[in-house]
Structure 1
Amino acid sequence: MRIGELADRAGTTTRTLRYYESRGLLPARRGGNGYRTYDEADLRALRQIRTLQDFGFDLEETRPFVECLRAGHPEGDSCPASLAVYRSKLSELDALIDELTAVRAKVGAQLERAEQAVVALAAQEPAPRCELGPRQEEE
């Protein structure tokens, strides 16, 4: 298949495919007419890349998965290098979760402090009178 068809089937653009080619993730095969040619294995590799990127993997992190597919494995994550990337990504995600949990605790503590301050202030002072509302006429 040609580049436009591959882009359509993969849900991406020809520009993206050329970029992947320049990064060595997509083979640069050319037909006798000079056009780029691709096969189902290329489509499978692109789908693997897209799935991993949807999970937050950067493009370089997808390389071991693509290489695993190209080595003939039916799944791109059945090679030792792919498993190492999974482990690394999980470690990175765990660190982010820990960081977000700590930030959440701080924000929760600030909210609790602010709510207590509002309650304490309301107990000390009468509610302000709105001067802009409708006036009641005096008798």
Structure 2
Amino acid sequence: MRIGELALLTETSARSLRYYESEGLITPHREANGYRDYDPYLVERVLQIRGLLDAGLPTRIIKQVLPCLDAPRAIHFADATPEMIATLEREGEKMTRRIDCLTRNRDAIGEYLKVVKSMA
């Protein structure tokens, strides 16, 4: 698929997709005419990248974490510095707090809807 289709499917700008490519997060094939050709599996990969960016992880850490999201997993420990481990622990804790907050908000909205629907 072309960059425009991947952008549409992932709600990601073509500029961001080119940035992900420059950072080594995604790798499209190049056609004979030089156009990028994106494999369908990259739709999920781009969504994973966006989720990790939204969670606050920098691209240098995302690049190291992405193999852990593949099946089969390809985990390489050679690059696991103390800084990276500390960053991942902090980010994991932040994600847990965010999940807890989202869960509370979802439950509150559900309760509100139950009350509103019962009054209708």
> After TM superposition, is the score higher than 0.5?
yes
1:88 deviates by 3.4
* 1:65 equivalent in structure 2: 65
Cα root mean square deviation, aligned:
3.0
Tell me which structure has the larger Cα radius of gyration.
Answer: 1
> Does structure 1 residue 79 correspond to structure 2 residue 70?
no
Q: Which runs of 5+ in 2 are unaligned?
A: 94-120
Structure 1 residues 42 and 93: alpha-carbon distance in aligned structure 2, compared to 1, 3 A threshold: closer
How many positions carry a matched residue from both structures? Answer: 89
* 1:42 equivalent in structure 2: 42
Percent identical = 40
Q: Which runs of 5+ in 1 are unaligned?
A: 95-139
CA distance in 2, matches of 1:68, 1:92: 16
CA distance in 1, matches of 2:13, 2:44: 16
* 1:89 equivalent in structure 2: 88
SS in 2 for 1:40: coil
1:46 deviates by 0.9
TM-score by length of 2: 0.58
1:93 deviates by 6.8
Deviation track 1:99-122 (CA, whole Å, cap 9, x = no partner) reads xxxxxxxxxxxxxxxxxxxxxxxx
The amino acid that maps onto 1:73 is A
Matched-pair contact (CA < 8 Å) for 1:6–1:43: yes
TM-score by length of 1: 0.51
Structure with the larger RCO, 1 or 2 (CA within 8 Å, 6+ apart): 2
Would you identify which runs of 4 or more consecutive aligned residues in structure 1 move more than 3 Å?
78-81, 84-88, 91-94
